């Protein structure tokens, strides 16, 4: 019984340690392989660095650091499902459990244009 309890305790600590994280200091750092601040897909008109900053401030907690989802759906290929205008409408008005006005002003269109390129 002691071995079983010890194994369960060790397993629990291992799982919680793996999920814990808590090191958000580097979450806002730009990936090393992205030198260009303008995206190529849109003729260089979207400032990817600024868009990523808006994403991190407003969307990351639900959609994940790598757009893979979490509490909210994955956004890795959202551009194949919605246009920039439709994404901007979702950001402004919400959809499903997503609240409205997750970004404001010019950030809405910047974020929508950036996400529309995710195909």
59 annotated ligand binder? yes
Residue 98's φ and ψ, nearest 5 degrees, are -75, 125
> Is the pTM higher than 0.75?
no
Round the CA-based radius of gyration of the chain to a whole number and report it.
Answer: 18
pLDDT digits (tens, 9 = 90+) for 1-50: 777 877 787 777 776 766 655 555 554 444 444 444 554 454 557 899 99
Q: Give every CB contact of residue 112 below 8 A, 6+ residues apart in sequence.
A: 84, 85, 87, 88, 91
1 annotated ligand binder? no
63 annotated ligand binder? yes
Q: Looking at domain 43-119, which CATH architecture does it have?
A: Orthogonal Bundle (1.10)
For residues 115 and 55, what is the distance between their CA atoms, to the nearest angstrom?
9
62 annotated ligand binder? yes
Evaluate whether 72 touches 98 at the Cβ level (below 8 Å).
Answer: yes
């Amino acid at each position: 019984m002691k071995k079983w309890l010890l194994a369960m305790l060790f397993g629990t600590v291992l799982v919680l340690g793996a999920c814990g994280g808590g090191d958000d200091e580097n979450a806002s750092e730009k990936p090393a392989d992205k030198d260009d601040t303008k995206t190529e897909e849109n003729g260089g008109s979207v400032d990817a660095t600024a868009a990523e900053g808006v994403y991190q401030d407003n969307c990351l907690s639900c959609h994940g650091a790598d757009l893979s989802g979490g509490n909210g759906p994955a956004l890795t290929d959202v551009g194949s499902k919605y246009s920039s205008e439709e994404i901007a409408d979702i950001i402004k008005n919400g959809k499903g459990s997503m609240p409205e006005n997750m970004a404001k002003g010019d950030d809405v269109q910047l974020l929508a244009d950036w996400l529309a390129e995710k195909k």
